Amino acid sequence: MAGREKLSFCRMCMGHCGVVVSVDQNNHLQHIRGDHEDPQTMGYACFKGMKANEAHNSPDRILKPLKKQPDGSFVAIKLEQALDEIAQRISRILQDKGPEAIAGYKGGGAFFTASSVTLLNSLLAAMGSAKMFSSVTIDQSSKAVAMGRIGTWPAGRDAFHRGEVLMLFGANPLLTLSTNGFDNRNPMKRLKGARERGMKLIVIDPRETETARFADVFIQPLPGEDHAILAAMLNLILTEGWQDSEFCQRYAGQLDELRAAVAPFTLEYASQRAEVPAVKIREATELFARDSARGSASSATGPDMSRFPNLAEHLIEALNVVCGRFIREGEEVPNPGVLLPRYPRNAEVLPAQRWWEEGYKSRVGNYGVIDGELPTGIMAEEILQGGEGQVKCLLVHGGNPASAVPDQHKIVKALKSLDLLVTIEPFMTMTAQLSDYILPPTLQYERADLPLYIYEHLVTPDPYTRYTPAVASVPAGAEVCDDAHYLLGLGRRLNLSMRVFDQPLNLQSQPTTDQLLEIATRHAPCSFSDIKKADRGLLFDRDPQFVGPRPTGSTHLFSLMPEDVAEELQQILSLVPATQFKYRMASRRMRDTLNSACKDLPSIKARTPRNPAFMNPQDMQRESLMEGDPVVISSERGEITLRVAVDPTLRCGVVSIAHGFGSLAGQDGDSASTNLLISTDRHCATINAMPRMSGIPINIKGLAADKSL
C-alpha cells in the first residue's frame, strides 16, 4: 500500500499552522508541509514545524517508560508498573510530609496538548497542594499582573485587523508567532494585508527584527528601559492633550495621579535612559496618540523579561486606556469564544482584582497565587529551603525546568535534591536526565487534539476551531501514551477525585483522549462529532457578539496609578546604571529552535548548531572580535563562553543571546544557557517573582581566537 497524505495542524507554537502530512505504508510520519488550502494559515509553516517528522522518528526519542537505577543509568519498565511505583512513592510522601511536599511544573509541551493541558493542575488540586508552577511565570505573567492592577475591559483592546496603528514593545511576531494583539496566522501575509489597508507599525526593540523592518517608526533602545519610554510617551500625551478625553472622563480613574507620576519623565530623560533620540519617541507618540484614532499598544517577552516587567505592562495598558484603544459599544468582538464559553462584553471596566492579595501565600517570599499558580521564580527555593512545606516531589509535564528556569546552578541543585522527580517527556532533556522516572508521551501527530483552546482568542481572531485525529502511528515497539493517560492514571491510583475542565471525572473508567476533548468542546456551538467531521475546521460566524452598552450602575474605573505602581515608577527614577558593566544582554529567540526543544534534530542542528552571542559590528571592532571568536560573558551571577556572531541589526552596547542551550554541567561545547547569568535572589519582580531575564548588565572578554571551547 502506498503512502498517503492527511490534514492536521502543527502544535509547536501559537501559529497552529494547517499542514499536510504524508505517512508511509506503516502509517509512520514522512513529510510535513504547509496546507495552502488552510483557511486560517494559508500555506504557512516554518522550517522547524516542517521538520517535526525528525522528532517523531528520532533515534533519540524515548519510547518506553524509564526508571533511574542506583548507578544513575536508566532501564525501561512497563508503563503500568511505572505508574504503580510512582503512585506508591507519591502516596508515601503525602503521608509523611503532606500535600505541600508535592509540586508540579508545566511547560510548553503540556500547553499544546488540549486533552491534558489542565490535568497536572487538577492532580495537584485533588491532592490539596497549591504548589503548581508553570512556564507562564517565567514568560509574560506580567500581563496578568497588569490586568490585576489596572482593571479589564471585557471586550479587549482594539483588534489588529481594524487598527490604524499597532505599537509593539519587544515582540517579533514574524519569527515567533506568539504576540498578543498581532494576527499570528501566517504573520507575514497578515502584516502585509494590514499595511495595504493603511495600518502603521511602531516597533520598540534593541534589534531591528524581522518585524521591525516593516515599521514606520522604529526605536532601538537599550533593553530594560521601556518604562522610561512609556512614561515619557504618557507624559507627552497628557501634556499635549492627545488623550481620548471622552473615554478618560467615563472610564479612567487616577488620571491626575498618573499625570503627576509621569511628569518627571521628559522626552530628554527617556532619551538619556534608553539612549535613543528624543525626537524618535516624540515621533512614535505622535503617530500612536495624535495621528491615529484606533489601534493598540502591545508587547511580547521583551519588556516582560526585563526589570520591573509589571510596571512596563501597566504603562502599556495605561497608554491604551488614556487613548481609549478598546473595542467599543456596538462593535463586533473578534473571537467571542468557540470552545471557551461566551461572557457578557459590555462597554465597562471590570475593576482591578489583585487576585494575589487574597488567599494562599507561599512560604518562600510570601507570594500569592496568579491564575491558580505560584511563581516559578521561587520554585528552586521551595525545594531547597527546609522546614514544613518543603517540596520533596516534583511532577514535570512537558517542560524542561533545568534548562528554562533562571539561575541554572540553583534549579539544578534543587532538582537533584528531590526525593522524587517524574517527567512526562519524549526526549532525554536536562530535566529528564535528573528524573527518577521518565514517562514518554505520544508526539503531536500521533494524538488527537484541538487548538490551544484556553487561549483561543490569541490563536485566531476568528470564531474558529478545528479537530485533528491522530494522523500517524507511534514508532514500532513503542510503549507510549497520550499525556492525559499518565496524569489520570496517577490520579486513579491515588484515589483522587479529579476534575477535568471543571467537570468531575470518573477515573475508574479511564477516559479516552476523544472523550476528554469532547468535554473541552462542551461550550461549542455544535456537537463534538460535527467539529470532528470538518477536516479543515469550522468557522462560527453566524452569531456575532457585539459590545453592549455600559450597564446601569456600572461605575468602575481603570486604576491608572495605584500606590504600588507609583512606587515602582519612583524607583525607576533612582536607578543608576551598573557602571562596572559595559554591555546589556538582551534575550531573543532564534528561528529554527523552540526554547530548549528541536535543537538536536539533524536538520535543525545543521542550521543552528549553537547559541551565539550576537553583537553589532562596531562593538566587535571595538573589542577586536571577529565572527566566531569565543568570548566570556559575565554577569553579577555567573559566566558563560559563547562564540560571537555579527548582527548589524542589533544596536551598539547590547549582546543578544537565545536561551535553551547548554547542558547540566553548564557549558556545552560552544553553547551555554543564559540562565547561568541570571539570579533568582536579586532583581526579581514583586507579585510574580519574575527574574530579570533580559537587559542584564554584562561584560565580555575575548578569548584567543583559536581556543577550543
Ligand X SMILES: Nc1nc2c(c(=O)[nH]1)N[C@H]1C(S)=C(S)[C@@H](COP(=O)(O)OP(=O)(O)OC[C@H]3O[C@@H](n4cnc5c(=O)[nH]c(N)nc54)[C@H](O)[C@@H]3O)O[C@H]1N2
Sheet holding 29-34, edge to edge: 4-9, 18-23, 29-34
CA distances from residue 156 to 62, 75, 252, 261, 289 in whole angstroms, order as listed: 42, 51, 16, 26, 18
Dump the DSSP string for 369-412: -BTTB--GGGHHHHHHS-STT---EEEEES--HHHHSSSHHHHH
CB of 595 to Mo ion, least distance (A): 7
CB of 35 to ligand SF4, least distance (A): 11
Is 297 one of the binding residues for ligand X (CB under 6 A)?
no
Site residues (CB under 6 A) for ligand X, limited to 160-189: 169-173, 175-179
Q: Are 560 and 258 in contact (CB under 8 A)?
A: yes
Site string for Mo ion, 103-142 (x = CB under 5 A): ------------------------------------x---
CB of 653 to ligand X, least distance (A): 13
CA distances from residue 204 to 169, 199, 233, 595 in whole angstroms, order as listed: 5, 17, 13, 23
- Per-residue exposure over 443-463, b if at least 16 CB sit within 10 Å of its own CB, e if not: bbbbbbbbbbbeebbbbbbbb
Site stretch for ligand X (CB under 6 A), options 77-85, 238-246, 391-399, 508-516: 391-399
CA distances from residue 329 to 318, 462, 546 in whole angstroms, order as listed: 20, 19, 7
Q: Which residues have a Cβ under 8 Å from the Cβ of 514 and sit 6 or more positions away?
A: 448, 528
CA 353 to chain centroid: 22
Q: Which does 45 bind (CB under 5 to 8 A by kind): ligand X, ligand SF4, Mo ion, none?
A: ligand SF4
β 165-169/558-559 pair status: unpaired
CB of 423 to ligand X, least distance (A): 8
Q: Which is nearer to ligand SF4, 188 or 260 (CB)?
A: 188
Select from 584, 591, 595, 593 the least CA-distant residue to 402: 595
Question: How many residues comprise the chain?
Answer: 709
Site stretch for ligand X (CB under 6 A), options 158-166, 190-198, 441-449, 605-613: 441-449
Q: Which does 484 bind (CB under 5 to 8 A by kind): ligand X, Mo ion, ligand SF4, none?
A: none
Q: Which does 376 bind (CB under 5 to 8 A by kind): ligand X, ligand SF4, Mo ion, none?
A: none
> For ligand X, which residue of 232, 586, 604, 620 counts as binding (CB under 6 A)?
586
Q: Which is nearer to ligand X, 315 or 333 (CB)?
A: 315
> For ligand X, which residue of 271, 335, 596, 679 counts as binding (CB under 6 A)?
596
β partners of residue 5: 22
SS3 annotation, 91-154? HHHHHHHCHHHEEEEECHHHHCCCCCCCHHHHHHHHHCCCCEEEHHHHCCCHHHHHHHHHCECC
Is 640 one of the binding residues for ligand X (CB under 6 A)?
no
> For ligand X, which residue of 158, 183, 205, 619 counts as binding (CB under 6 A)?
205
Q: Are 28 and 472 in contact (CB under 8 A)?
A: yes
> For ligand X, which residue of 206, 475, 537, 630 counts as binding (CB under 6 A)?
206
Q: Which does 64 bind (CB under 5 to 8 A by kind): ligand SF4, ligand X, Mo ion, none?
A: none
CB of 183 to ligand SF4, least distance (A): 13
Is 591 one of the binding residues for ligand X (CB under 6 A)?
yes
Is 108 one of the binding residues for ligand X (CB under 6 A)?
yes
Q: Which does 169 bind (CB under 5 to 8 A by kind): ligand X, Mo ion, ligand SF4, none?
A: ligand X
Q: Which is nearer to ligand SF4, 16 or 259 (CB)?
A: 16
Q: Which is nearer to ligand X, 170 or 334 (CB)?
A: 170
- Please, where are the H alpha helices in 132-277? 142-150, 173-176, 187-196, 226-240, 245-251, 255-262, 267-274
Site stretch for ligand X (CB under 6 A), options 125-133, 260-268, 439-447, 556-564: 439-447
* The three cell numbers locating residue 330: 456596538
Rounded Cα–Cα distance for residues 368 and 354 (Å): 10
- Per-residue exposure over 569-579, b if at least 16 CB sit within 10 Å of its own CB, e if not: beebeeeeeee
CB of 329 to ligand X, least distance (A): 32
> For ligand X, which residue of 400, 616, 634, 680 counts as binding (CB under 6 A)?
400
Residues of this chain that interact with ligand X (CB under 6 A) are: 13, 107-110, 113, 135, 138-139, 169-173, 175-179, 204-207, 209, 223-224, 226, 300-303, 305-306, 397-401, 403-404, 406, 424-427, 429, 441, 443-444, 483, 586-589, 591, 593-597, 656, 659-660, 674-675, 678, 693-695
Residues of this chain that interact with Mo ion (CB under 5 A) are: 139
